[in-house]
Chains A and B, each alone.
Chain A
């Protein structure tokens, strides 16, 4: 809520204009609103319905200003700047009007601040309405609030609630649902004072088409929408915020973590990242729910069928010992690690074990670099999207939202997939791919055997469609057959491509040669991090080292268990689906004994007697 956006760059046709705000000369440019010009100049103008991530709406009227030659007060969030405009943002007339708007809002529903989880005090509050109440000195209810009417609370959604009594009908949530997520679930019913935010045809939120992305929750200016997990855990203004990157999938959404006293309270999307504040349910909510309780804080060694806590020194010595004895060493690494750790891991196998038996624990990655790389923003603005062998709405949700956004702006959509996808019903053309290979897989990394084929007549049809588009984007998944792959490569140059990668840093891993493949060796070193087995089994080996954050089936079967940092404790870099290098910043300090993944690898190399060169950021960047 409190993040600010960097101002958008002026359009190429923009012309600078000079206006006077509160007697101060301000240079703005055409296409700007008075609010933007004032804000850029550091002049505070309050807003409630307006949010920089959303198009101007002009509903709440709190941002009204006095503009010379205008009969009535004008909303600064919609009024375009013009040469010579003379504006007053805090004149007595304006202040009176703002107080009136606030008094109206406070009288409309039940804004009993002291009962609200978003309430704060004059020094800081999570509620934008309350903050304005303090700013404009509303110390009493001028118009009696509506005591008699009951306003419903909707608690049918898993992760967050809606208390209509605190809703000010600014429609930020509705507009976010439409403009940012393109989910079109939220809407308004009735009119006048009976207006209510509703989902679909007024069904409980939990039964609606809501995808629980939580963008509405993040954008709500009051305590109307609140997060079950972080409610009653104190005020947002007392938390620490850390800008980092989401590690739940390869999209790499910019996030901000809210932490207090070493625990994660909430995750919010970064407004100034390409995801524009949007996250998916997994990235915003589930990830917090899924943090297991049983943390591995110290190395463990199996002895007499029992796991025993040992010192790092003892564990690493035992590990080096075991690995040295093995003829072949195989390695598996989760894509949820930093580039820096991946390099260390790959060097360990390449330089010390001289082993090629290295693969990914998860994350199927299509071949990269077919043509020009597409960006998330490019997708949202594209006029045609072709999705082949993948389901972004399932596996790269925020990317899926961008696809829908493009459709809202009139883009065409072709979906070619082996099975039903979430985008099928939106597609102008929906094609089923023929599937070769076994869909039945025992371990998850067997699924790479699936190969997709597109009949040539259908292929021609798709090509024809693409020819007619201005800026087509192809989203392709793994498992395309040779013909299809070659066809994609031969598409016209205006086409840009985005691989539907699975796994947070799978692109980084792929660039370092890691892929989802079966590996084999006498000894097995698994860098699992905070990835969970989810029923998958590791390959058989005589000696297994598992480095993991939490106790699970894999660690239970291992000979040696080394602790690892969880995603929110890591610092380093990732490479996302677009190929951008994204920073990962620790939000919480790891327990004292736990070190970075690359440091573990380094320490192991020392015990093996062949210390690796230390991995630096520039190292990693160069390697990629």
Chain B
């Protein structure tokens, strides 16, 4: 059964029924005005006789509210504004047309879905407790009765004995929806059997979880279901009186309950001798004062008794000694709301839904970083990922999913690996979280799990009643430890405290609140332990949330930790050389990164919350280009004495890519004798051998490599490890004291399908290397007029596609096995856009299964894919659709499905590698051989330029430490901090927007490798830099540090000390 039932049942005499959600006191939308506008419009048009307008309570899809549903067609309109009313009445109600702009748009799709039943948000739901919500007027008992209301009570009173009622509920397998999941039937039975004539039933509506409103919604939308459920329970256990405990903060729920109780009395459904039976039952409302702990049943009982809301030890259990010492049955609102359906439709129907051990449905308040926030009811056993991605519509802005907190503030967060977990009481518990009463908070990569755990802990500690010592003090001690960690003062003792206190709280606390208070932090530790380590050991917060650890999100997001706000601030003043100096402290490749950096900084830029992120990369490019003519000679970073001491030692760097060159530079700046060995004839690694010229011109790379040489680094090309020398010879007769392996990942993964070695199959990196080698080599591939297929969705695939196009290929097909938004290249959306503009065809959800042709490739057989369960990366795994196979005619096939480091060059020297072929290193970048360090793609797998540079900086620190002390020291990126005064008025740039990226027109790109991006002008650059919100200055305020002085005008002379790097001490 689904509650998507048809409203025409109750509205037979009307042609159409317009259901408007929300109601007077719905805080989330202007539903009330919309409702009255539709009503008056309908009346004005003389349609009142044929069209019924009904105010309903919440339908759950709150993110799209106010929602208007038009029955019997089942049209659903979202975010209806007053201005839309006319159109709804005139177009839809009068002329029967669908208004597309109001239809619901599935976040992952681009198509409007106007029909209520087809929207995944609703179609995957099974509404039992929420069945009437949004479908009836909650203030009308008639509407409730019209939808089978009170039939279950009639049946329970006149056709069933109390024991039969209990048996039915027991057999249904209904488990307490308050969170603990205790079998409801068993609870009733215990209470029925308890000695004593006077018994009570209590409905627990003390819903206190932040962000959860399941109970409120039911009480507001379908109060009679709760009353009926309570009456049935009272009949079953032999109670005469019932209480509904509802928090005072729910005035609408209380008002609706009062109305419902009054109507029920009026109809003889409450009070003396109900429905002619010998059963009499009264219900009273007890308004709670809003203490979270009062949701605990014994505390709730204390509160009803007029005592301080504190739990009591159990045993005795309320079923034996509850309210005023009498046997008492307490159930959650949702449990009572489900009861009438179970009695009416039978246990078999109910346990046919859900899983064997958790039958029925689960109700969640879905909130956080998810597109469709709101209230949902889904069958038990549905996968967590299905809730988030189907019902919830996925994560906003396509950001990666990180975790989901279930069970409210006492629950636990579950990581990507748990996305396939079936949602039921036992599976969630096993996964490390709890069902709880139904809060479900989704978080994305921008959420710091330590901070999140702290948030929940703050709540739980504040809501501790203070009765038992473990909860009262333990919660505070946990909070203290987490606060120190998030503020950058954490140490190992805090980690020990968290573990010990959590374990002991769980074991010794009086009630569930204390026992579960450590839940979120324990789960966070279990699944996101590395984040705690980052905070404690490295004093970093990768998610960029912990204020003390994050000066500005852009700095935090940059793997190399470049002080972005500082150089942007200098650029606003035209001080490009100083700006570049700051950049080079962390990243010596500003010219390169100004062109080919994925710009993690821009993705986290806070300006994006206002309009668009600062175009940091293009501003940087202009800054670097300004200084192009002035060769840079890197300065030493240590004093003369240290330099002299260091100069006695020699370091070999294998690989002249960005990681190796950066490491070489940093060590050379410290005085070491550094030699870089490069296998290929030109240094640069992937910078020259993979990234095509139209993205990164060779001359630019050469300029910056010359800078490295000027620092004293010797670069020997055409000398390969394993061929010209070995690790042994390096450290032996060649006299190097340390070796840094920065060999990159130059080996392409094979397709691994029949025919993948046919002529015409060129792997991606080889393809790009041919092009980099020169026009002759490129032409030798003879691509002109050919059909080129590329398998993969990463940067290499896109680069190959665009190069092939430039070399005259007639058709370019990119085949990717997942959906488009899952492409690894999607982190550079402009690349994909450019490729599409240039004419590349993308085929998603296809997987090659065989390369066709005799010796020469003639085509490829591909199988369409569907997305199944979630893999360890949080993406749905593509699964082949057996019958859906087709052939694609091709002349050249380029596999670009991932790269590996080539470990064959290490020869005899056995260095440990992972299953994916990368080198295993310790925290100090140390390999299994002393003195040999490794960094870059060889360790991380294929990554970005800036990540390689960051690795280069770090491995240099580690190598230096080892050379000087003989110890392996874990290098840490120190927070970079230059306080540059703000010299312009930010408000002047309040409405300034990001300029478009200047590019060569598409028609000028084909057939040549000219740089596509053009760059900003000086004026644009300065103006764009002025848009920076200067989060770094706010950080100073937050840390109670003085802002840098200086008059606020552009002619201010630079403070010389401004460029000195200040040691960051949060």
Contacts and interface: CB of A to CB of B under 8 A. Distances in A.
Nearest to A58: B313
Interface string A173-211: 000000000000001101111110000000000000000
Interface stretch (A100-108, A351-359, A415-423): A100-108
Among all A-B residue pairs, the 7 with the closest Cβ atoms: A195-B466, A58-B313, A104-B473, A78-B313, A192-B464, A100-B504, A193-B476
B86 interface: no
B506 to A, nearest CB: 7
Interface stretch (A59-67, A260-268, A459-467, A557-565): A59-67
Given A78-B313, A188-B308, A192-B475, A104 B463 contact: no
A75 interface: yes
A79 to B, nearest CB: 7
A192 B472 CA distance: 5
A536 to B, nearest CB: 48
B469 A105 contact: yes
A192 B313 contact: no
A97 B509 CA distance: 10
B496 to A, nearest CB: 10
A100 B477 contact: no
Contacts of B476: 108, 192-193
Nearest to B308: A188
Contacts of B510: 58-59, 61, 75
A40 interface: no
Contacts of A27: none
A96 B504 contact: yes
Contacts of B758: none
A524 to B, nearest CB: 59
Nearest to B510: A58
Contact of B477 (A56, A64, A104, A190): A104
Contact of A59 (B293, B468, B477, B506): B468
B313 A101 contact: no
B470 A192 contact: no
Contacts of A112: none
B514 to A, nearest CB: 9
Nearest to B312: A58
Contact of B463 (A61, A78, A188, A192): A192
Given A75-B313, A192-B463, A108 B473 contact: yes
A101 B472 CA distance: 11
Interface in B418-477: 461-470, 472-477
Interface in A68-91: 72-73, 75, 78-80
Nearest to B292: A191
Given A59-B510, A72-B515, A143-B477, A101 B466 contact: no
A169 interface: yes
A136 B312 CA distance: 27
Nearest to A188: B308
Nearest to A195: B466
A75 B473 CA distance: 18
Given A59-B469, A191-B291, A192-B463, A72 B313 contact: no
B315 interface: yes
A79 B473 contact: no
Interface size class of B (residues with CB under 8 A): 20 to 34
Given A56-B313, A191-B464, 15 more contacts: A60-B468, A61-B470, A61-B508, A72-B507, A72-B515, A79-B313, A80-B315, A97-B508, A100-B508, A143-B501, A191-B465, A193-B472, A193-B473, A195-B465, A195-B466
Contacts of A79: 313, 315
B466 A104 contact: no
**Residue from the set B468, B469, B472 with the largest chain A CB neighbour count within 10 Å:** B469
B497 interface: yes
A370 to B, nearest CB: 36
B469 A60 contact: yes
B315 A61 contact: no
A101 B464 contact: no
A190 B466 contact: yes
Interface of B: 291, 293, 308, 312-313, 315-316, 461-470, 472-477, 497, 500-501, 504, 506-510, 515
A100 B465 CA distance: 19
A104 B470 contact: yes
Interface-central residue, B313, B497, B515, by most chain A CB under 10 Å: B313
A187 B307 CA distance: 11
B472 A97 contact: no
Nearest to B506: A72
9 contacts: A100-B501, A101-B469, A104-B469, A104-B477, A169-B472, A187-B308, A193-B472, A193-B476, A195-B472
B456 to A, nearest CB: 14
A363 to B, nearest CB: 42
A60 B315 CA distance: 17
Contact of A107 (B316, B461, B477): B477
Nearest to B465: A191
Contacts of B469: 59-62, 101, 104-105, 108, 168-169
A80 B314 CA distance: 10
Interface of A: 56, 58-62, 64, 72-73, 75, 78-80, 96-97, 100-101, 104-105, 107-108, 143, 168-169, 171, 187-188, 190-195
A249 B308 CA distance: 36
Contacts of A75: 313, 510
A62 B497 CA distance: 20
Contacts of B504: 96-97, 100
A56 B315 CA distance: 12
Contacts of A143: 477, 497, 501
A192 B477 contact: no
Contacts of B500: 100
A193 B470 CA distance: 11
B851 to A, nearest CB: 59
Nearest to A48: B469
Contact of B466 (A72, A96, A191): A191
A378 B450 CA distance: 59
Contacts of B315: 78-80
Nearest to A143: B477
Max chain A C-beta neighbours (<10 A), residue from B291, B308, B497: B308
Contacts of B313: 56, 58, 75, 78-79
A97 B505 CA distance: 9
Most buried by B among A59, A105, A187: A59
Contacts of B506: 72
A313 to B, nearest CB: 67
Contacts of B468: 58-61
Contacts of B291: 191
Contact of A169 (B308, B466, B474): B466
A72 B509 CA distance: 9
Contacts of A187: 308
Contacts of A61: 468-470, 508-510
A394 B467 CA distance: 35
B507 A192 contact: no
A273 to B, nearest CB: 28
Contacts of B508: 61, 64, 72-73, 97, 100-101
Contacts of A64: 508
Nearest to A64: B508
Contacts of A101: 469-470, 508
A560 B790 CA distance: 128
B964 to A, nearest CB: 36
Contacts of A56: 313
A193 B291 CA distance: 15
B465 A192 contact: yes
A59 B469 CA distance: 7
Contacts of B470: 61, 100-101, 104
A96 B509 CA distance: 14
Nearest to B464: A192
A194 to B, nearest CB: 8
Contacts of B501: 100, 143
A592 B472 CA distance: 57
Nearest to B315: A80
